């Protein structure tokens, strides 16, 4: 999609669709006033019939408005506040994106120069518009006989206040497109069925991403290689499956380094990639088990983030590790009560084979020590307790570093992909005590999200680390069933700040 900054008078602008804002109680923006005057008060008369009241997120498409060169005029409601918060602005942009994509308009112009934002500017508006357009354009059809039709919309332009930099607007649009594509990449991987999106398939996606790109290299460790490294915890999860586990390591070197200078410590992402989770011998209930294809959404978000990083060409070094496996019951599967040895040397009593995510993540985290990372963020659909606590709106966050946690919380607010910190207090650690190993893989029925993070914390003592439990936010159930692509935008916000 082509993007541009245009400052033309909205009345004289030739476009398939002109977008203008109307506040609550039909209060016109500056651009809407110009359109109303040019059309002989036609706009005011249309609004008087009560079909549109300017409330936040509403829209009304008008065809053939006299005195205006645009074929269509899309009225969008921006509510009754003098300034829109970021959440309100997002709701406005989502409404615009859906209306434009469902229309037959080939190009559109957003005459929103007078729109007031709280805590943001029109560069943010341009980036978020591009992101929401990409996000809204996604429709899953890979395994359907009839494929989704592409939207007619091919170009979009934005009006902004005087003094706005065209170069910065272009960059903002490009970053928004990259973020949206990263989100859609994560959604597509999450939505694919488990018989297609296997651990090997995930590895191939990472390999394909690196093709033709000098800044990104990918290596994939086989089960034999993992066994030689002592990854008994990760391999205990895949033991019952005919699908081989894969440890996918993506190294992105974008930092600008002077000749002979040492490279900076990389920032690290680690994703849980359980491509299907039956629970293993601790078999899950049959109801909604189909949704366990989404148990690799942590891995999907890491791969989607890396795709966007490559597209943005961020000047930063990043290592992304995906621990991919399938959790199945069979005669070879790990049993409750088995004791396995992790790569770190800690032994683990597996009391529940359905608490498998932490078993693959702990070995991936230990493997990551060799990179001496500046920070580590793991992303996982880890616990039902996180769903019970936060629903689908907020992701749980736990960390061994308060400054990192505060930064991620701020990034979540800025990206509108929010997290909420839970305590990682030592008082919870004893719940993981075992009579037969160094640690048990579950901590009992209480504080499940916290004890899962306590388990992982045993393997993160050598670096600053945060854990994002996205079990509630990674996908939607019901009629809108599908992956959300979260927390790609949050991860990108964090990495972009580190690259600045």
Enumerate the active-site residues.
284, 358
Cβ(221)–Cβ(288) below 8 Å: no
H/E segment holding residue 318: strand 317-327
Asked whether residue 36 is marked as a ligand-binding residue, the answer is: no
**Paired residues of 62 in beta bridges:** 73
277 belongs to an annotated ligand binding site: yes
Structure tokens at 448: 């499940």
* Residue 35 to residue 269: CA distance in whole angstroms: 49
d(CA 381, CA 272): 7
Ordered DSSP codes for 195-217: TTS-HHHHHHHHHHHHTT-TTEE
Structure tokens at 384: 């039902």
Q: How far apart are CA 96 and CA 129, in angstroms?
A: 9
Q: Is 356 annotated as a binding residue?
A: yes
- Following DSSP, what letter does each residue of 206-262 receive, concatenated? HHHHHTT-TTEEEEEE-HHHHHHHT-HHHHHHHTT-SSPPEEEEEEEE-----TTPP
Q: Is 402 annotated as a binding residue?
A: no
Token reading at 195: 């018989």
Query: Is 363 assigned to a binding site?
Result: no
* SS3 state of residue 77: strand
Residue 269 is inside which H or E element, if any? strand 267-277
Provide the annotated binding site for Mn(2+). 272, 277, 295, 354, 356
Annotated binding residues, as ranges? 272, 277, 295, 354, 356
């Amino acid at each position: 999609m082509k993007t541009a900054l245009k400052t033309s008078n909205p009345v004289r602008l030739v476009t398939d669709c002109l977008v203008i804002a109307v506040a609550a109680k039909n209060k016109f923006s500056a651009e809407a006033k110009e359109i109303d005057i040019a059309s002989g008060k036609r706009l005011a008369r249309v609004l008087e019939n009560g079909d549109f009241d300017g409330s936040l997120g509403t829209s009304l498409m008008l065809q053939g408005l006299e005195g205006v060169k645009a074929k269509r005029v899309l009225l969008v409601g921006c509510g009754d506040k003098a300034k829109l918060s970021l959440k309100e602005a997002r709701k406005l942009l989502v409404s615009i994106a859906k209306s434009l994509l469902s229309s037959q308009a080939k190009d559109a112009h957003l005459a929103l120069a007078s729109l007031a934002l709280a805590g943001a500017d029109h560069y943010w508006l341009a980036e978020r518009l591009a992101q929401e357009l990409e996000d809204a354009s996604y429709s899953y059809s890979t395994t359907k006989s009839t494929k989704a039709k592409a939207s007619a919309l091919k170009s979009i332009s934005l009006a902004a206040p005087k003094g706005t930099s065209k170069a910065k607007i272009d960059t903002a649009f490009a970053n928004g497109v990259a973020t949206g594509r990263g989100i859609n990449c994560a959604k597509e991987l999450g939505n694919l069925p488990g018989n297609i999106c296997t651990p090997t398939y995930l590895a191939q996606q990472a390999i394909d991403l690196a093709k033709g790109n000098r800044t990104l290299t990918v290596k994939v460790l086989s089960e034999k290689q993992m066994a030689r490294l002592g990854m008994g915890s990760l391999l205990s999860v895949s033991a019952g499956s005919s699908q081989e586990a894969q440890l996918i390591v993506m190294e992105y070197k974008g930092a600008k380094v002077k000749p002979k200078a040492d490279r900076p410590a990389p920032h690290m992402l680690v994703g849980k990639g359980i491509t299907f989770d039956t629970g293993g011998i601790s078999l899950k209930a049959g109801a909604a088990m189909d949704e366990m294809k989404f148990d690799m959404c942590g891995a999907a978000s890491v791969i989607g983030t890396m795709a966007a990083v490559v597209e943005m060409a961020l000047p930063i070094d990043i290592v992304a590790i995906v621990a991919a496996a399938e959790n199945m019951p069979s005669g070879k599967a790990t049993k409750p009560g088995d004791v396995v040895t992790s790569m770190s040397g800690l032994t683990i009593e597996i009391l529940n084979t359905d608490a498998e995510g932490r078993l693959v993540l702990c070995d991936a985290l230990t493997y990551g020590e060799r990179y001496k990372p500046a920070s580590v963020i793991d992303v996982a659909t880890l616990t039902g307790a996180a769903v019970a606590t936060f629903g689908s709106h907020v992701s749980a966050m736990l960390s061994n570093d308060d400054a990192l946690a505060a930064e991620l919380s701020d990034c979540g607010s800025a990206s509108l992909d929010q997290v909420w910190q839970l305590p990682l207090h030592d008082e919870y650690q004893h719940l993981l005590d075992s009579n037969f190993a160094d640690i048990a893989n579950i901590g009992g029925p209480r504080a499940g999200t916290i004890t899962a993070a306590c388990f992982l914390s045993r393997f993160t003592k050598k670096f600053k680390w945060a854990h994002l439990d996205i079990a509630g936010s990674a996908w939607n159930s019901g009629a809108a069933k599908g992956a959300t692509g979260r927390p790609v935008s949050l991860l990108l916000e964090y990495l972009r700040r580190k690259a600045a």
